[in-house]
Structure formats: C-alpha cells, structure tokens
Amino acid sequence: MTQEIPLSHPLDFSGRVAIVTGAGGGLGRLHALALASRGAKVLVNDLGGMLDGTGGSPSSASSNSAQKVVDEIVAAGGHALANGASVTDFSAVQAMVAQAVNAWGRVDILVNNAGVLRDKSFAKMEMEDFRFVVDVHLMGAAHCSKAVWAQMMAQKYGRIVMTTSSTGLYGNFGQANYGAAKLAQVGLMQTLAIEGAKHGIHVNALAPTATTRMTEALFPEDVHEAFKPEAVVPAMLVLAHESAPTRTILCAGAGGFEAAHITLTQGIHLGLGDGVPEQLAAALAQTTDRAGSTVPGSGAEQGANEMRLARGQ
C-alpha cells in the first residue's frame, strides 16, 4: 500500500530552456512533451535512423522525427525547436546549444537521452560496434554536457540528466558495449556533480525500465502496458527540476522508483608483507561484507578510509 503525499508544490518549468537529445521518439519524445507541458521551452534533438544508429542524417531528422515532436508541442501551445545534430559530432552539438541560446537566451536543462543498440555476445561482437555504442552514449553525453557547461556556469544554474541503465549498473547478457557506456555515464555524472556544485549545476542519472523501440523485444508482451515509457517520465522531471538533488542515480519503471548507490564497505587492514595475498583471499568475505557500508562523497574517501584502517581507527 502506497502512502499518498499531497502535491503542494507542482513541478513547474516556466521560463526554463531544455535540450533533450534523442527526442524524436520513444522516451526522449515523452521527456520533451512533459517538459514543454510544464512550461519549458524545448529544443528537440534527433538524428533519426535505426536502432543501431544507421540511416539518420541531420537534415532528415530536423525535418522529420524531431520536427514532428516540435509540431506536437507547438500545437499544444508550447515553444520548441528541432535539431538534427549527431551527438557524436562535437561541432554540431556546439551549434545545437548555440541554436537554443540564440533563440531563448539560456539553457537550463540538458537531458542526455540519445542512444543506440548493437547487441551481441562479447565473443561475437565486432570492436567497431563496441566503439560506436560508446561513442554515442558516453561521448555523446560528454559532448552535450561540455557544450552547455560554460553557459550553465555563467548563469549559475543548470540541471543535467544522464541516462544510465540497469545493464550498466548490474550487467545484461549481450550488451557489453551498452553496459560499459551506460556505467561510464555514471562516472561522468559523479565528477560533473562535484565540479558543478559551486556553480548551481546539479547532475544526476536516470535508469529507466520501459518498453520503447529500443527495448520492447526484451519484454514479454503481457507486461508492455505496465512498463510503458510514460511511467519513467516523473523521475526525469524530478531530476531536471530546480529542486533536484545532485549525484543521484534514480531508477524508474512500471510506476516503481528506486535509487542505486555505489558503496564502499568498511574493509579490513592487512598491511604489507609476503603473505597479504593469501590473507586477503582468506578474509574476502569480511572485506566484501556490506554491513556499515557508505556512499562516498568523492573518490578521495576511499583513500581516507584506507588511511583510517592503516591507523587502526
């Protein structure tokens, strides 16, 4: 039984400017529509093309999939622009950000949603396919984040939402490339959140579970309705809003929400010596015991914990 919480402060985005990548369809389209319906001006980015990243072009995307979403937003009384940049092209991404700034004066929100799939077991996967998936998901997110970073620093405000995945967090057969790229976005989020804190820039990650064009084949048909992508959108809105946390990995699907954490156990101290490898092997269960584990505020806390153990504290 869920507890009803009164909505005393609606999540309003009036006056905000958002860029949503990969927004010509699927979850990205719903993100763009939701932000626009709550008052944001939205630049809808999509290259177009197939799930594996082939067949798209900047010119066709801006006049087709992205433009169709823009038309939906405008028809509903909102403000939107179409853009067909590939997130793998940093110059095109910079021009995309300039398009939003020239039109609306600022960029408040970036939702890094663009992605592709080239699934195969690692034994059968071509390294070209591994690299391409990493380029789109990781380098695409890095390109877009870098392109908005100076603008957000100057205005002392920004909200960046990475799109990670349960595959990145926990693994999934046949998706080594996708999983590596998705967890890498979490690593990017961790540091950008630290660096952006003093500039009012909050950076978070969303791990969706939804039946989109990219994932519908992975779900049994009888759960498609429960896992419709609309159920993920509330988590994006929370992470993109001015009240958003920072350095949070929020998971969402079928109306359920969880948070994922990268934790550090209390650990043990064995010191230096020839027998340490054997001692560690014998004490591995104690070392990995999650009782009392913490969520470090930064990478430096690992070293601080190791120093604490060395001092016998």
Enumerate the active-site residues: 178
Compute the distance between CA of residue 60 and CA of residue 55 in angstroms, rounded to an integer. 10
Beta strand extents in the chain (DSSP E only):
17-20, 41-45, 79-83, 109-112, 158-163, 201-208, 249-253, 256-260
Residue pair 140/87 in contact by the 8 Å Cβ criterion: yes
Q: Which DSSP category does 189 fall into?
A: H
Compute the distance between CA of residue 111 and CA of residue 163 in angstroms, rounded to an integer. 8
Strands 201-208 and 79-83: unpaired
Query: What tokens were used for 66?
Result: 């992205």
DSSP 127-171: HHHHHHHHIIIIIHHHHHHHHHHHHHHHHT-EEEEEE--HHHHH-
